[in-house]
Each structure stands twice: as structure tokens, then as C-alpha cells.
């Protein structure tokens, strides 16, 4: 009788690689479902000598799902690789049930854990484990297991990192609400500060000083007071000259201390960084008034300028009248110095003569003409145009538009105005009405046959009608682009002018001015 395997003897489990190879050849049993007992199989026929491994019996069909309780016949086991013992009996013996290998047990454990994790995360439950899935897991197809692994520790030694709990949207909503509240508070604070911040600072005394401290005064500053200046108009002049700390410092001081001083025209020598109190004292001190200083504003005529020069410099008016009698003394080829006494503030030494004063003013005009790029042979014409612009325009933009109207009317291709400028300022200058402050020109001014009357004579008048400044000279050189042929003031406050192409549009503007004058009789209309 041949020896039969001892059913109780422990079987040496195959390695994972050997097990997989045996299964591929159909020589190893398929994995068992949990709790299922193996079906006994018959032993192979003994042989007297070692033979090559016989052809394995066909493998049993793959079992259905593990739920099936009916056992199925298992394939015959492969004979041991060792030499067989001598046969002692021909009776077949039943082999012991094939126990689940560690690989199979580990695979089953992994599938159970995965199912539990999915259930905890709310995922779909996995399909029931079958023998084929157990076999695949044991063969190394479990997640996270590479084919090159060589031990069970590689398969079961680590566990999947538990998923992080997803934070809800509540934190984000709370953050947005807090951000909105903070933004609202900040926006409200900005609005309140912009609206009431200055008042709050004043009430708390935190708005900073409004005046320089005593003892800070230094250097020198010149201030010119014109006829009609008051505390409110002098205050910003002091600030611009660097005398006071703020534009309103001087005026606020006068109001807070109930001061009502009398200011006299002239130029005064002060210091920078003075207190308002010290500045007032300096303006009231005759010793600070510069006797040899005079200021000429834009648009004055020679007749208006000479008395200002005589008073400011302290020379007799007759000396100035004699000084302007011959323009050729100063290189001016004209019958008069009209337009050549440049408007500015001048200070002279006490021994300066009237002729030296006039020469200084004429040279300043030449300097302005050269700066504007006026050719020397064209100086007289540009000064004539600039003087009309200075008298007719009120605002900077108007200066350049008036210059264009003059050019359009002088254009020989313009048939509408026949080359007549028809400027009231020139007609008034010709009859001496320029200084009377009248808005409307008299019939005499419009019809008098003098060389300045542009209602009668085409082209430019024979010479300038006033002393133009830098802006008017620049406008004469660079007229604005436009088709205008007419313009008129439509009110005297703020002094708006209307420019038009046709006579009908111009007459509408004149009608507006008449209506405004009728409603405002105090403006000298």
C-alpha cells in the first residue's frame, strides 16, 4: 500500500509568485469564499518511478457569487514535486480540505475594510465579493499594490489615509458677512471723516496751526497792494508770497480780532513765515512801503500808465510825459509808445530817471515778443492784434478765439465782412470813450472817421490800443481753429461770450446781452 498524505499534517503554503503561476496553468485551486468547505478530490494514481507532471484535469467552472452554498468539485491537486513514496495501497484516500492561504485571507480583509470606508463616506456599497475578486486581490491586484512587491507586508503593511472631512460652506458665508460688516464700517467712517473731519479736528484742537509761530520769520518778501484791495483779497497774496502759513490765515486773524485796517496801494517789504499779527503791523508801517515801486496791469493805455508810474516811483508826471514823447529814443518806429509799456511790477533805485523807467518797460516788451517768436519786422502788427485781444477777451480761451475772429475777418476770401474788424474797443479808443466803462459804443464812436475805427476802415487800426501781456501776445501768434466771424458778451457777470459764424446768430447773442442788462441795471449797461 502506498503512503497517503496525512490529512492532519500541515501544508507548506506556496509563495505568492508560485501560486499565481500555478493558477495560470490551472494547477491550483481557485480561492474559496469565506466559510465554504473544499470538496474532497481523489488522489492521483501512484507510479513506480518519477514521471513528468501529468496533464492537469480541466479546471472546474468558476463558481458564481459567494452567496451560493452548493459546493462544486475542485480540480485534482498537482502531485508534489518531490519523489513519490512506494505505493502501498491502490485505494484512493481523501485529501484534507484546502485552507485559505494568508494571501486570500488578507485580500478578503482588504475588501471588507474598503466596503466599510465607502459606507462611512456615503458612497455606493461595493458588489459582493466573489471568488474571482478574492483571487485577484490575493494575486496582487488590490489597490496600492504593485506587481513588483515581494512580501505580504507590501500588500497589507499600510492602510489608506482616512479622507479629510470637507468643511462646510458655513465658514465662507461667515467670513463674507464679517467682511461686509467691516467694509461698511470703514466706508461709513471715510464718509464721516470727509464730511465732518475738519470740524472734529477744529473742536479737538488737532487741526494743526493756522499761523507761523513768533520768531520763525526769515528772509524777505514783497507784497503789492492795489487800489480796492481788502483783507480778504490781501490774505491769499500774503500766502503766495510765503508770508503766512495758510491762504486764510491773515483774513481769519482780522475777523477773530475784529480788525478793520485801511490798506494803501503800493509795494511793501515783509518777511517770510510771519505771524498774521506781525504781517498786519508791517503793512501799517510806512517805513516798509517801497517808494520806488510801481505796478502796471494788462490792458492799460499810456495815458493810464504814466500817473501810476509817477506816484509809485516818486517822480513828477511831467517828466514821464516828456520821456514818452519820442518813441524812437527806445528804438520804436511808431508815432506812440502805445502797447510798448509792458504790464508788470517794477522797483527802481531812488535816483532812477523817468527815461530809464520807460526804457526798462519797453525792453521788457521786446523780451516778451522775442519769447513768443515774433519776428522783429512784425512786432508792431502783433502788438496791435494783441492789444485788441487784451481789450476784447476776458478769459484765456476767449483770447485765442478772438485772435481767430480777427484772422478770419482779415482774410480776403471772406466776403461777408468785407475786411472790416468792427471791434468796439478800437472804435471807442479812437474817440476817447475807452475809459468811461460803457458797454455800448456811441454813435460817434461807430461812425467817426479816425484811423482806429475798424467800423469805418478795413484791416487793422494804425497801431495798438493798449499794453498787452504775455498771454495776449501768445494768442496773437497762435489763434484757435474755428470758423467764427462774430462774438459778443452775453452777460457781464461772469462775463460769458458767444462766438458765431453768421450775423443772425450774432444778433441773437446781442439780444441776450440786452436782456441781461435790463435785468441787471447796476452793472453800468
Q: Over 50: is that where the pLDDT of 357 sits?
A: yes
Is 525 inside any structural domain?
no
- Report in angstroms the alpha-carbon separations of 213 from 149, 218, 285: 89, 12, 21
Is 378 inside any structural domain?
yes
The reply to whether 385 and 439 lie within a common domain is: yes
Chain CA centroid to CA 131, Å: 72
Q: What is the largest CA-CA distance in the chain?
A: 167
Domain boundary, last residue among 270, 290, 310: 290
The reply to whether 412 and 332 lie within a common domain is: yes
* pLDDT given for residue 487 in this prediction: 94
The reply to whether 307 and 442 lie within a common domain is: yes
Q: CA 442, CA 456: separation in Å to the nearest integer?
A: 14
The reply to whether 251 and 320 lie within a common domain is: no
* pLDDT given for residue 146 in this prediction: 42
DSSP codes joined into one string, 445-456: HHH---TT-TTT
Domain boundary, last residue among 247, 262, 290: 290
The reply to whether 285 and 308 lie within a common domain is: no
Is 187 inside any structural domain?
no
The per-residue pLDDT for range 251-309, each reduced to its tens digit, is: 999 999 999 999 988 889 999 999 999 999 999 998 898 878 888 999 999 999 999 99
The reply to whether 233 and 346 lie within a common domain is: no
The reply to whether 306 and 431 lie within a common domain is: yes
The reply to whether 275 and 366 lie within a common domain is: no
The per-residue pLDDT for range 359-405, each reduced to its tens digit, is: 999 999 999 999 999 999 999 999 999 999 999 998 999 999 999 99
DSSP codes joined into one string, 45-95: PP-SS--PPPPPPPPPPPP--TT-----PPPPPPPPSSPPPPP---S--PP
Is 263 inside any structural domain?
yes
Is 395 inside any structural domain?
yes
The reply to whether 338 and 469 lie within a common domain is: yes
The reply to whether 280 and 386 lie within a common domain is: no
Contacts of residue 259, defined as CB under 8 A and 6 or more positions apart, other chains included, come to 231, 253, 280
Is 456 inside any structural domain?
yes
Residue that is written with C-alpha cell 441787471 in the block = 520
Q: Over 60: is that where the pLDDT of 335 sits?
A: yes
Is 437 inside any structural domain?
yes
Q: CA 427, CA 445: separation in Å to the nearest integer?
A: 5
- Report in angstroms the alpha-carbon separations of 203 from 198, 206, 208, 348: 9, 8, 12, 49
User: Which of 71, 42, 76 has the alpha carbon at shortest distance from 59?
Assistant: 76
DSSP codes joined into one string, 456-467: TSSS--SS-SS-
Q: Which domain holds residue 309?
A: 302-484
* pLDDT given for residue 91 in this prediction: 44
Contacts of residue 162, defined as CB under 8 A and 6 or more positions apart, other chains included, come to 117
Strand order in the sheet with 218-225: 218-225, 266-272, 289-290
Q: Over 80: is that where the pLDDT of 173 sits?
A: no
Residue 265 sits in a domain whose CATH number is 3.30.1490.480
pTM: 0.50
Provide φ and ψ at 219, rounded to 5°.
Answer: 65, -155
Is 141 inside any structural domain?
no
The reply to whether 238 and 375 lie within a common domain is: no
Q: CA 32, CA 508: separation in Å to the nearest integer?
A: 112
The pLDDT > 90 percentage for the chain reads: 45
Give the total number of structural domains in the chain.
2
Amino acid at each position: 500500500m502506498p503512503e497517503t498524505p496525512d490529512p492532519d499534517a500541515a501544508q507548506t503554503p506556496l509563495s505568492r509568485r508560485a501560486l499565481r503561476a500555478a493558477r495560470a496553468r490551472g494547477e491550483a485551486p481557485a480561492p474559496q469564499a469565506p466559510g465554504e468547505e473544499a470538496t474532497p478530490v481523489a488522489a492521483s494514481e501512484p507510479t513506480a518511478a518519477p514521471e513528468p507532471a501529468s496533464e492537469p484535469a480541466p479546471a472546474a467552472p468558476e463558481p458564481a457569487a459567494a452567496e451560493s452554498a452548493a459546493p462544486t468539485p475542485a480540480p485534482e491537486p498537482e502531485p508534489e514535486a518531490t519523489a513519490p513514496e512506494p505505493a502501498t495501497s491502490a485505494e484512493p484516500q481523501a485529501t484534507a480540505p484546502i485552507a485559505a492561504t494568508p494571501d486570500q485571507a488578507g485580500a478578503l480583509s482588504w475588501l471588507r475594510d474598503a466596503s466599510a470606508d465607502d459606507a462611512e463616506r456615503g458612497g455606493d456599497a461595493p458588489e459582493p465579493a466573489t471568488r474571482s475578486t478574492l483571487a485577484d486581490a490575493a494575486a496582487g491586484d488590490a489597490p496600492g499594490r504593485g506587481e513588483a512587491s515581494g512580501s505580504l507586508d507590501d500588500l497589507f503593511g499600510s492602510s489608506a489615509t482616512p479622507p479629510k472631512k470637507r468643511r462646510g460652506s458655513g465658514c465662507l458665508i461667515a467670513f463674507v458677512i464679517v467682511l461686509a460688516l467691516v467694509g461698511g464700517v470703514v466706508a461709513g467712517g471715510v464718509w464721516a471723516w470727509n464730511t465732518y473731519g475738519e470740524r472734529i479736528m477744529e473742536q479737538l484742537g488737532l487741526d494743526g496751526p493756522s499761523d507761523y509761530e513768533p520768531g520763525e520769520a526769515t528772509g524777505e518778501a514783497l507784497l503789492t497792494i492795489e487800489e480796492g484791495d481788502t483783507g480778504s483779497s490781501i490774505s491769499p497774496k500774503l500766502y503766495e508770497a510765503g508770508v503766512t502759513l495758510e491762504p486764510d490765515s491773515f483774513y481769519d486773524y482780522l475777523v477773530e480780532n475784529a480788525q478793520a485796517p485801511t490798506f494803501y496801494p503800493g509795494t511793501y517789504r515783509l518777511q517770510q513765515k510771519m505771524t498774521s499779527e506781525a504781517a498786519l503791523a508791517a503793512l501799517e508801517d510806512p517805513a516798509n512801503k517801497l517808494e520806488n515801486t510801481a505796478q502796471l496791469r494788462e490792458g492799460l493805455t499810456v495815458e493810464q500808465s504814466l500817473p501810476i508810474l509817477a506816484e509809485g516811483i516818486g517822480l513828477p508826471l511831467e517828466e514821464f510825459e516828456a520821456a514818452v514823447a519820442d518813441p524812437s529814443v527806445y528804438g520804436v518806429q511808431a508815432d506812440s509808445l502805445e502797447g510798448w509799456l509792458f504790464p508788470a511790477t517794477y522797483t527802481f533805485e531812488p535816483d532812477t530817471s523817468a527815461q530809464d523807467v520807460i526804457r526798462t518797460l519797453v525792453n521788457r516788451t521786446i523780451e516778451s515778443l522775442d519769447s513768443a517768436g515774433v519776428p522783429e519786422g512784425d512786432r508792431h502788427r502783433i502788438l496791435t492784434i494783441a492789444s485788441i485781444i487784451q481789450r476784447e477777451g476776458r478769459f484765456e480761451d476767449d483770447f485765442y478765439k478772438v485772435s481767430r475772429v480777427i484772422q478770419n475777418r482779415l482774410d480776403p476770401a471772406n466776403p461777408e465782412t468785407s475786411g472790416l474788424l468792427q471791434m468796439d474797443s478800437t472804435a471807442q479808443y479812437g474817440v476817447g470813450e475807452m475809459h468811461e466803462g460803457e458797454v455800448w459804443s456811441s454813435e460817434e464812436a461807430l461812425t467817426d472817421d479816425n484811423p482806429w475805427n475798424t467800423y469805418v476802415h478795413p484791416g487793422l487800426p494804425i497801431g495798438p490800443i493798449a499794453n498787452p501781456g504775455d498771454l495776449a501776445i501768445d494768442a496773437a501768434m497762435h489763434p484757435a481753429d474755428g470758423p467764427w466771424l462774430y462774438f459778443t458778451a452775453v452777460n457781464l457777470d461772469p462775463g460769458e461770450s458767444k462766438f458765431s459764424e453768421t450775423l443772425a446768430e450774432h444778433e441773437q447773442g446781442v439780444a441776450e446781452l440786452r436782456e441781461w442788462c435790463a435785468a441787471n441795471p447796476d452793472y453800468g449797461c
